[in-house]
Structure 1
Amino acid sequence: MFALILSFPAGRYHATPWGRNVNEADVAWPPEPWRLLRALVATWWRKGDHDRWPRDTLARLVEALAETPPVFHLPDDAVHSHTRHYMPAPVKTTLVFDAFAHLPRDGAIVAAWPDVTLDDDLLALARDLADGLGYLGRAESWVEATVSTEWPVEKANCKPVNGTAATEAEGDPVRVLVPLQAAKYCEERARLIGETEARLTSEYTAAGKKPPTPKALAQKVDGTLKGTLPDTLLDALSLDTGDLQKVGWTRPPASREVVYVRPPLSPTARRRRRRAPAAPTGKTLPTVARWVLTGRPRPRVEDTIHIGEVMRLAAMSRFGRDTETGRFKAPPEISGHGEDNKALRIPEHAHAFWLPEDADNDGWIDHVTVWLPRGFDGEAQAKLSGLRKLWMDAAREWSLALEGFGRPDDFAPVSRLFGPSRAWTSLTPFLAAGHLKTGGYDAEVRRLLLRRGIVGHTDAAAFRVNAEPALRLEGGKDLRPIHFHRVRSRRGERQPDSLGAFLTLTFPTDQPGPLALGFASHFGLGLFGPSLAP
């Protein structure tokens, strides 16, 4: 058997069924096999290694998967949802519906071909294409795909049915576009070309004209069909949808409709019984939560401190407010404030760090990481899982998509904030937490590391602090500390250091991350990442 497992990091699957208008707010559920195969073909064209995987190998993979319609596993608690917006001026300000299926956290769509067994070459190609698949359906429908040959087919809850069997099966019947088998496509192509030739010939005869020669007739047919009936199934799957619609095809000629029965796609989420957070049982709590931040434009890395502050406020709002005092009811480890509403003064800094991140070093913030050294309990995870938006004002709003909760090691492969590493280099300016004394930033960093218990007095001789002239972004742009916002929005905040510096810290042994030190380190300043330097 062969299966594609599709997970959606943003929790949304956007795709409009063939022949439907986007403003009908329908969702292609399940994803059409026609769409799945086209996605694999497109990935081969854009990202494939054509020397390793020649066109003939891709054609064999496509033909193997087109032999039988797949079965699907669809998340039972997916929700049919949509947003509405008006197109911006100066074009016509039409109201547009953006429909999507909202998938539960860790929910995945599985398309499985139980009767398909791929040889080693085709399986390797399928894995390579699945790894390169970036989206499915609309471009904002981000996807991560993996291949399995051992997925349990009995978990399938969406299957093709025949004729009257659709009315007897449990679930909602829906017509789904699937590709024709390669042999069937050749037969259909010959039939359609023959019909077109006969129609054109009859038109000549009815007009009293001499029928064209076979060569001229073939050219006339090709001009009428405009290349929408290529020789092979692979070429048919590679056609642009707009070209098919211009010719007037009600559906692609290399496809057919199959009735599937699927679980209902409800416009409301299932009610779930709320459970109180479980008491600690010795299991290690996650200490890191990470979100993808999207929007146009994304915030600049120079705005790190402001994004850290609004992320904290958005998180605290999830806990609600006390009706008497008006204060957020977030626990001290989240708010950073004690019962007296004063900032916590804990040497170990055990309350939450709100760390905006420019993961690809292009100068724009694309993730936000929250680090809670003592771990997120069940209630905190449940509350923070609902974070969907960040906003500063009416003109600056961004969407958040939770990547998940975990430990630092879980995020080390994809984030610049985690180690371990001996050398750590500034990602944002370091500002002293107190007035600089003799020894400057070197002495201040050592003081903070000793106070936090990150290094001991015996490591002082082997620990080094080096100044860096600037932060180098991809593309060659340099940022200096003065380019960054270095002031908290809260009035009355004491700021002993108004300059700041970029530093490289070298420890005697590997040091785990994240590492944030100094003034406003809980909001992204003084943030360090593993250095490429030895």
Structure 2
Amino acid sequence: MFALILRFPAGRYHATPWGRNVNEADVAWPPEPWRLLRALVATWWRKGDHDRWPRDTLARLIEALAETPPVFRLPDDAVHSHTRHYMPAPVKTTLVFDAFAHLPRDSAIVAAWPDVTLDDDLLALARDLADGLGYLGRAESWVEAAVTTDWPAETANCRPTNGTGHTAPEGDPVRVLVPLPAALYADERARLVAEAEARRRTAETDAGKTAPTAKALAKKVEKDLGGTLPESLLDALSLDTGDLQRVGWTRPPASREVVYVRPPLSPTARRRHRPAGPAIHTNAARPTVARWVLTGRPRPRVEDTIRIGELARLAAMSTFGRDTETGRFNAPPEISGHGGDNGALRDDPGHAHAFWLPEDVDRDGWIDHIAVWLPGGFDGSAQARLSGLRKLWLNPTRRDPEDTEAHARAAKEWHLALEGFGRPADFAPVSRLFGPSRTWTSITPFLAAGHLKRGGYPAEVRRLLVRRGILSKEDAEAVHVEVEPTVHLKGGKTLRPIHFHRFRSRQGERQPDSQGTFLTVVFPSERAGPLALGFGSHFGLGLFESIP
């Protein structure tokens, strides 16, 4: 048994399959054995101790691993994701897709050769090469590799199917590039060289030239093939991909395609299956947070948080369709925030319906993410519908039917890419909205839900914490609240509450506090987020972030 354990610190594995264009946004999943062995060879050339590990030792290691295709253990909840960007000027501004597999935290890819047993020398070389491996696939696909000889091969969930003797698990079939065994490569090389010699002889005969000597013919054939058929398997794996493509190989001559069956690589995170039983509460297993990346040119300003929150709600409700008789959206009350009479859910002090929270993660003043928090959790139907949310759009009513140019400038659209569903703790490493922390500071203005009473904003915060069921009355009295006049963004930009849009688009809603303020709230003990309080909190006003 020999196995490579691969962990990706950035949570991303970037690799384009052989023969595919990067803009097809496909991911080499599982990592091709051809790529794995080439990575080991490249590490030997760049970082290896050639005195300790001579070339012949490396050749023996590569030939041993090329004898049989490995099996894999792939993370069950890896997500097929991508980013897209334009090449900068003055180069042609081509739209480029950057696809990758997003891997869960602390997950690993295992490539195992159950039938391979390495001697001590080869095993030591493999460990040394694994320690020196810095990336796999693209250069930004950082990897930490380790070697083991004790791994349960029966836990593999991705196996080859054609001519390997393995019983494949259920899943998606995919063609994967693997190296030929050394003996098969020698046979294949002899066949390809013979074919090339025959083509050259035929061409020279047709041209009326005399047949060259065998030695001269071999040199001409090698020149025609561009040096892409070296004698050893190690040299074949060391060839530059550009050289292979320049000669016109549809795949490397020292490789073959093997069909693997892999777990589905979904564009959205799949729900984890939990064992059924009376002790498990239904809502406890549900994800409570969905998060999207927002892109567009330009992105919306953080000052327009409440507007973007309202747009996100409308766009999400549209995924549920409309009732043919009433014309209303079919979204459930926990998503729409409306009851059966289409009235707002004002009588629920716990605010159990969805919070639509635009987020400026890098604090540059532009909204780049949208999180939706549903305290009661998303059921399967809501997850399926919201997974189809792809864009937000703002298309104001055209006042002048003739002014089409002004209308086009006013219409805006932003694209959304779903990061996944989860619990607040799943997103805490990448978002300060989810804590945990004792100290929380508002990043959008806090507006009182009613008329301010004695004690001002601090008293209003404590009242809302008790009313929402976040703290008991005794614990709320121990909360320390400081009023802040401004909030600071990256680059030295300072915003006051008056800079933010602080009103709902719906007309006629009572709003006693139209000014607002920023706050810093210190709790008696750590608490998890998100934390949104006051008027408009369901759309991003009164939104707090944790302070480490």
Change (3 A) 1:3 1:305: farther
Counterpart residue number, 2:382: 380
Counterpart residue number, 1:158: 160
Change (3 A) 1:68 1:322: same
Correspondence 1:172-321 to 2 at 5 A: 176-179=176-179, 239=240, 241-242=241-242, 244-246=244-246, 251-252=251-252, 255-260=254-259, 282-283=281-282, 284-297=284-297, 299-300=299-300, 302=302, 303-321=304-322
Correspondence 1:86-105 to 2 at 5 A: none
The one-letter amino acid of 2:357's match is: L
Counterpart residue number, 2:332: 331
Counterpart residue number, 2:413: 396
Counterpart residue number, 1:369: 371
Report if aligned partners of 1:175, 1:257 keep a CA contact under 8 Å in 2. Answer: no
Change (3 A) 1:175 1:299: closer
In structure 1, list runs of 5 or more residues that go unmatched: 81-86, 200-217, 266-277
Aligned counterparts of 1:425 and 1:4: Cα–Cα separation in 2? 41
Counterpart residue number, 1:486: 502
**Superposition deviation, residue 347 in structure 1:** 1.8
Report if aligned partners of 1:70, 1:159 keep a CA contact under 8 Å in 2. Answer: no
Report if aligned partners of 2:17, 2:28 keep a CA contact under 8 Å in 1. Answer: yes
Percent identical among aligned pairs is 57
**Superposition deviation, residue 506 in structure 1:** 0.5
Q: Does 1:448 align with 2:464?
A: yes
Report if aligned partners of 1:417, 1:514 keep a CA contact under 8 Å in 2. Answer: yes
Change (3 A) 1:246 1:343: same
**RMSD (Å) for aligned C-alpha atoms:** 6.2
Task: State the TM-score, normalizing by the size of structure 2.
Answer: 0.62
Correspondence 1:107-126 to 2 at 5 A: 112-115=112-115
Report if aligned partners of 1:230, 1:236 keep a CA contact under 8 Å in 2. Answer: no
The one-letter amino acid of 2:281's match is: G
Task: State the TM-score, normalizing by the size of structure 1.
Answer: 0.64
Question: 2:323 is paired with a residue of what secondary structure?
Answer: coil
Change (3 A) 1:357 1:38: farther
Change (3 A) 1:228 1:259: closer
Change (3 A) 1:473 1:285: same
Counterpart residue number, 1:350: 352
Counterpart residue number, 1:214: none
Counterpart residue number, 2:342: 341
Question: 1:152 is paired with a residue of what secondary structure?
Answer: helix
**Superposition deviation, residue 337 in structure 1:** 0.9
Aligned pairs, number:
466
Aligned counterparts of 2:315 and 2:36: Cα–Cα separation in 1? 37
Report if aligned partners of 2:294, 2:414 keep a CA contact under 8 Å in 1. Answer: no
Aligned counterparts of 1:225 and 1:22: Cα–Cα separation in 2? 25
Report if aligned partners of 2:133, 2:143 keep a CA contact under 8 Å in 1. Answer: no
In structure 2, list runs of 5 or more residues that go unmatched: 81-86, 201-218, 265-276, 396-410
Change (3 A) 1:125 1:507: farther
Report if aligned partners of 1:423, 1:530 keep a CA contact under 8 Å in 2. Answer: yes
Change (3 A) 1:334 1:350: same
**Superposition deviation, residue 146 in structure 1:** 9.4
Cα deviation code 1:34-74 (max 9, x no counterpart): 345567899x89xxx989xxx989x8997875564324589
Question: 2:328 is paired with a residue of what secondary structure?
Answer: coil
Change (3 A) 1:229 1:243: same
Cα deviation code 1:283-323 (max 9, x no counterpart): 42425222331534473460432332232223222333222
**Superposition deviation, residue 505 in structure 1:** 0.3
Aligned counterparts of 1:483 and 1:186: Cα–Cα separation in 2? 73
Aligned counterparts of 1:181 and 1:479: Cα–Cα separation in 2? 65
**Superposition deviation, residue 112 in structure 1:** 4.2
Counterpart residue number, 1:33: 33
